Structure 1
Amino acid sequence: MSVEDKDVDSGAALHWRALEGLYASAPINQLFSSRLEVIGEGHARILFDIDPTVFHAGGAAHGTIYFKMLDDAAFYAANTLVTDRFLLTTSFNLLFSRPVRGGRVTAEGRWVSGRRRVLVAEARLIDEEGEEVGRGTGTFMRSHMALSSLPGYGG
């Protein structure tokens, strides 16, 4: 158990570690060098290494990469508050502020509102120099899929 987990109900900490396992097991995440860290209730971080394999013709990260990082960070921040069901993204708004030409990018997700049917979370992307390169806000709703039934969620 990490230092952060010692101050948290053990059930919450187990849920957070299981969400990290769920992220790591998703087939799409085998295509990227990335890692999820759930850092507390309503907070998640994705560490993502950008290399030329994800560039568009202009030599910077394609917008789909921004979306993936922002959506995932916001999604997992929201799913820290929902322990029984997998959430689904129902909408997501993006703002691109700078191109990313490589290196480590951190997506920081934060739950904003809602706990019942619809949750709202936001995320921002920070490059290696500490500059914000993008941000987004998403809405997420509970699905019919039990988290416990998904590969990777239980360890």
Structure 2
Amino acid sequence: MTLASAVRDTPHTVTDTSGLFQQVAFNHLLGLKRELAADGVSRLVLDARAELTNNFGNVHGGVLMTMLDGAMTSAALSHASFTRAAMTIEMSTQFHRPARGTLTAHGRATRAGQSICFCEAHIEDAQGEVVAKAVGSFKFMRP
């Protein structure tokens, strides 16, 4: 059951948004997995493969941005105890080095009000080197 059908088919508003990550088809296409989302922090993992690389054999920057966005969104949702949905308002990304192999994105909600949550995230490679960082702001919404 999708979130939309759950809302449509029940007279009550859905208040548990913890399953939204698994409903994003793009996450499945990339092979992106969420290992943790609790208390305003998150961890996502991706095993890089050839289909996700650029002309230089490194993980494409768009894939890295998706990981960072997902990590920050997961952190924001968990900060709100999965009672709200969140939509990206803006995101600023820095790429530090080429990304290959198993990548882990760590997200953290740094400050939140009633409607906006500010977050940060970084991605590490298997050696623990930071390959990219981002900050972003997210609009809380009713699911």
The TM-score, its normalising length taken from structure 1, stands at 0.76
Describe the superposition over 1:109-140 as per-residue Cα deviations: whole angstroms up to 9, x where unpaired: 01101231111010000000110111000100
Number of the residue aligned with 1:109: 107
Report deviation, 1:38.
2.6
Q: Which runs of 5+ in 2 are unaligned?
A: 1-15
Q: AA paired with 1:125? A: I
Number of the residue aligned with 1:92: 91
Report deviation, 1:29.
1.5
Q: Which runs of 5+ in 1 are unaligned?
A: 1-14, 147-155
Report deviation, 1:25.
2.3
Report deviation, 1:39.
4.5
Q: Percent identity?
A: 28
Report deviation, 1:86.
0.9
Where does structure 1 differ by over 6 angstroms across 4 or more consecutive aligned residues?
Answer: none
Instruction: Say if 1:123 and 1:30 are closer, same or farther in 2 by CA, change over 3 A.
Output: same
Matches of 2:136 and 2:24, distance apart in 1: 20
Q: AA paired with 1:37? A: E
Matches of 1:97 and 1:85, distance apart in 2: 32
Number of the residue aligned with 2:126: 128
Matches of 2:138 and 2:37, distance apart in 1: 19
Alignment check: 8 A CA contact 1:38 1:77 kept: no
Report deviation, 1:40.
2.7
Alignment check: 8 A CA contact 1:91 1:138 kept: yes
What secondary structure, in the 3-state scheme, does the structure 2 residue paired with 1:92 have? Answer: strand
Aligned alpha-carbon RMSD (Å)? 1.7
Matches of 1:23 and 1:127, distance apart in 2: 22
* Number of aligned residue pairs: 128
The TM-score, its normalising length taken from structure 2, stands at 0.82
